[in-house]
Amino acid sequence: MSALVECVPNFSEGNNQEVINEIAKAISQTGGCKLLDVDAGPSTNRTVYTFVGSPTAVVEGALNAARTASQLINMENHTGEHPRMGALDVCPFIPVRNVTMADCVHCANLFGKRLADALHVPVYLYGEAALKESRKSLPAIRAGEYEALPKKLREAEWTPDFGPANFVPRWGATVTGARKFLIAYNVNLLCTKELAHRIALNIREQGRGKDQPGRLKQVQGMGWYLEEENIAQVSTNLLDFETTPLHMVYEEVCRDAQDLNLPVVGSQLVGLVPQKAILDAAEFYIHQKNLFILEEDHKIRLVVSRLGLDSLCPFNPKERIIEEMVQDGSESGCLASLPLHTLVQKVGSRSAAPGGGSVSAAMSSLGAALGCMVGLMTYGKRQFEELDPVMRQIIPPFHRAMNELVAMVDEDSTAFSSYMEAMRLPKSTPEEKERRTAAMQLGLKKAVGVPFSLAEKVNSLWPSLKEMARHGNLACRSDIQVAAKALEAGVFGAYFNVITNLKDITDEGFNEQVRMKVSRFVEEAKDSAALVLELLEERTQ
């Protein structure tokens, strides 16, 4: 998959649709950039653009957008609810796929320098790209906002990282940097701006100051009023949603609102959100209410309902969840997405890949799918009502495994890519030969890793399959039998692939450990498959 960086420039214009559209056009017409979202806020007088592309492409897209904005936005006339200090207020770069934070820091530095050179405006670095500890925080840099810039720029402490220390009235100043995925999330309240802000002060990490910190780590927040919706909001930025997740922010706001006898009327996500943030919230509510939900789209619906994410406008996952919107062109041709007939034809062609490893993964995923099917053919039926608690425990492992194993159909086919790339490395000098050999060994270990993971995953399913053989709907006896043999065959296939690749790995410790474990998986597969068949033969009802 290609390298992918997300860029989320925030421009200080949220009302003039012509300006909003021109900036969007500048981004979308940049080669290699895909514009995913344009979120305009009339009350905040601010528009958040979200686009992705290669590291090089997103820098060009951000520069094109900034050049357009410089002709159309005049900060001398700007007012709005959101803090701001420039026409292009902030422009962060975020790693999405196959890029590191260091790559995004490089993007921010390149963009900042080129922006300052092109428009002769002051630019500051923040977040992971900050050159000073005092500039890591965006609110710290933006303190005093646009109006404070004339004085601020004369202070040595606030000399820009790029560009002149001169006040540019039409533009102001721009902040750029690199950060983790930030989620802009607002909770709706029927109250005044002041009451919303009181709650924001309670929950945000900064709180009311050093002596009165807030409750939630990695959360920024403030209260404001949306005139167009006639509601107040606790507006937050989740700087690290794995430290403080969406549902925690919502529940904490609800708690304070209840203490103040204020109604909460849903919430709002601004821009895009990672799928994991939504699924983490789903798991919280599933656990809280002891729900039984397997499918991801059902989990997303649950979160939309619980958080009221569609309270101000429809929440369409295909337009709001970044993984739903970003598709690599190569994914359409992946093995797992092919019609079964086409996959069989590919396996039967005169080519080494896809081969036994991919077939083992396909068989294993089908075995897990059969286990899931039998569980669902048992769960929720009146005659098996007493088995519902058992099925709730043993169905989810099959459901997770079938999705993880089907992904290995492609992973196995591409597992040798690192090894093949290493073989093409130069080998003219002793140093080059040494680097090539080390890279080849690392590539072989990666190639061993896929079938080993397959065998390990299947090994974790045997306890659940034995329980299914004891309790599952007996009308599905043959399906459980096929599941057992499919999973067993998948482990044998993985074993043969691992052993074949181990013979060329020179790390004896690694070799011995992997061989011992995978041999144990094979023995477990033989014994467990036989026991499943035996349990089924003994059952009469």
Two tokens, residue 334: 């992946």
Query: Can you tell me the distance from the alpha carbon of 380 to that of 135, in angstroms, rounded to the nearest whole number?
Result: 56
Among candidates 307, 73, 263, which has minimal Cα distance to 169? Answer: 73
Query: Can you tell me the distance from the alpha carbon of 529 to that of 480, in angstroms, rounded to the nearest whole number?
Result: 10
Check if 504 is active-site.
Answer: no
Assign residue 145 a region (left: φ > 0; alpha: ψ between -120 and 50; beta: otherwise).
left
Which residues in 295-317 are b (16+ Cβ under 10 Å) and which e?
eeeebbebbbebbbbebbeebeb
Half-sphere exposure of 89 (CA within 13 A, CB side): 25
Q: Which of 39, 256, 410, 412 is catalytic?
A: 412
Check if 82 is active-site.
Answer: yes
E strands within 98-226? 123-127, 174-178, 183-189, 219-226
Among candidates 215, 217, 287, which has minimal Cα distance to 252? Answer: 215
Query: Can you tell me the distance from the alpha carbon of 73 to that of 168, in angstroms, rounded to the nearest whole number?
Result: 12
β-pairing verdict for 46-53 and 10-11: antiparallel
Q: Which of 82, 197, 399, 471 is catalytic?
A: 82
| 252 alpha-carbon distance from chain centroid | 24
Prior bond of 354 cis (ω within 30°)? yes
Task: Please provide residue 311's backbone torsions phi and psi, each rounded to the nearest 5 degrees.
Answer: -70, -30
Query: Can you tell me the distance from the alpha carbon of 14 to that of 73, in angstroms, rounded to the nearest whole number?
Result: 11
Query: Can you tell me the distance from the alpha carbon of 234 to that of 226, in angstroms, rounded to the nearest whole number?
Result: 11
Opening angle at CA 352, ends 348 and 353, nearest 5? 80
Among candidates 262, 252, 251, 232, which has minimal Cα distance to 303? Answer: 251
Query: Can you tell me the distance from the alpha carbon of 279 to that of 102, in angstroms, rounded to the nearest whole number?
Result: 28
Q: Which residues are catalytic?
A: 82, 412
